[in-house]
Amino acid sequence: MKIENKNIEDINIGIIGFGYIASGVFSLIQRQKDYLAKKIKKNLNIKRIAEKDLKKIEASSMKGLKDIKVSSNADDVLEDESIDIIVELIGGINPAYDYVYKALSSGKYVVTANKDLIANRGGELLAVAERNNVDILFEASVGGGIPIIGPLKSSLASNNISKIVGIVNGTTNYILTRMEKDNLSFDEALKKAQELGYAEKANPSSDIEGYDTACKLAILSSIAFNSRVTLNDVYREGIKDVSSDDIKNALDMGYRIKLLAIGIEENGEISVKVHPALIPISHILASIENTFNAVYVYGNYIDEMMSYGRGAGDRPTASSVVGDIIKIARNFDRKKKGIIYGCSCFEDKKFKSIDDTISKFYILIDVADKPGVLARIAEVFGRNLVSINSMIQKQTDKEKSARLIFITHEVVNKNLYKSISEISKLDVVDKVLSIIRVEDLS
């Protein structure tokens, strides 16, 4: 019901793409309409929706949807001069980039949950927004309902952020959790995630190979370090090679394995990497389970701060999308538009190659069970400046075979991988099974 108040202004919204996130946005605005009008002194009106597959809308029984102008042509939304905010929820880069570019160029604000778009071409779109004195907000592109982008751009803006560490993909976190709790193989845990709808059945690669996480890290790092980071700048490893043996070995040594997004700024250089890692069970990130996400931020004035919550789903993501709409609405002036946050990438920092970064490593190797094997492996490590912190030997099911578990001290990555290349060629080595980084998160 519309609040009758002369001081309450109408804010007209157009939505492009009407999947499960958009339906969540529509439902939230309709349900909370009176509450939001009282809270922000603005009426949020969804005026138009563009959806390529009109059957989605025709089949919907959502209250109020039948009263909205609907079209299969996005231009009907983009060219409506009465619309103030465009909400882009189709995902991907094309044609989303063209739609958002057109909206910003015509002086409309944009809200999106599109991590691929922002991670790859966000800099271009922020520049277009600035030229037209509007803004593009994208809180929902990282962490679903977790507020992290807004805080980085506002309440934490006075800090020099030195490090960001996050678990920002619910699918991979669910898989690793179930591998540990239910003693499942990777394939078994992936299948369970697909059955529950957490992972795509046809092609789960975006999640399990780390692309989704890398996009989110690029977005967070750009804001935190004030320098443009794109998907191509992020080093990436997925979780498909993490075995149930790795999970058990990590637990035995006091660690859990998580897929981490890690961004570090040091001495004007940025390191951005996504990879599975052993983290101490005592660290709070080790307790993040199933589809929950968390982002840890290190700042020179706040010290450490963590945001935690549901990282996906229609309701949490819709909450972030509508939160961005509210930010715009609160500051909205149709006669004199203004930038809400704008682009904070005012520097052009260098990137540190993954080869030159320093890490600790967990290494799992099957070898021949006979005298002299360890000495030969140790000689290779020593020659390449790799120092071993601990070593455990276990028997395998194979006769005359042993399994060696190494944890290294901090080592330059290229030295470690040079060692592994040489060790894998030794005649006493059956196979190098796993190489996973160890992050103490201190």
Q: What would the two tokens of residue 282 be?
A: 């005592």
Which residues, 6 or more positions from 433, have their beta carbon under 8 angstroms from its beta carbon? 243, 245, 364, 365, 366, 403
- ∠ CA 308-312-314, nearest 5°, is 125
DSSP 271-307: EEEEEEEEEETTSGGGG--TTEEEEEEEETTTEEEEE
The phi and psi torsions of 185 (rounded to 5 degrees) equal -75, 170
Distance between CA 104 and CA 127 in Å, rounded? Answer: 10
Active site residue 153: no
User: Residue 207, CB half-sphere, CA atoms under 13 Å: how many?
Assistant: 24
How many other β-carbons are positioned within 10 Å of the β-carbon of residue 35? 9
- CA–CA distances in Å: residue 19 to residues 88, 161, 176: 11, 35, 28
Q: What would the two tokens of residue 121 be?
A: 């071409």
Catalytic annotation, pick one of 33, 42, 163, 216: 216
Which segments of 354-405 does DSSP mark as H helices, in order? 373-383
Q: What would the two tokens of residue 163 be?
A: 């490090």
Name the residues annotated as catalytic: 216
